[in-house]
Amino acid sequence: MHFKTDENLPIEIAEILNKAGHDAKTVHNQQLRVFVNNLWQVVIRYDSAQGFAHIDQYYLDGKKIKKKLHLKLNEALNLADEDIKENWKVYQMAFLEGK
């Protein structure tokens, strides 16, 4: 079963659900990864670990850009799902090309 949790539940709830065999996501772990050079590498990550919702965008050359989102955590979670589904190819190309 798939679950999405927002800021109203502790992160530990998602961890418990995952250990029980479910697929639980939080805004802390919404990301796109690609397999490059025999490694899974993060391309884009929606995160709230620093206490605010933001996007970390990565590039193959090691560059990283952080963009603050002026959204509630549950809004950022919804945006993460939609954005990654719609734009994964764009993010993948930017990662690989360093643009």
Q: pLDDT per residue over 65-89, tens digit each?
A: 999 999 887 788 788 889 999 999 9
What pTM does this model have? 0.69
SS3 content of the chain, % helix, strand, coil (to 5): 35, 30, 30
**AA letter at 69:** L
Alpha-carbon distance of 27 to 74, in angstroms, equals: 8
**AA letter at 4:** K
DSSP class of 98? T
CA-based nearest residue to 81, from 31, 11, 36: 31
**Residues 19-67: pLDDT tens digits?**
898 887 766 668 899 999 899 999 999 887 777 889 999 999 999 999 9
CB of 70 within 8 A of CB of 61? no
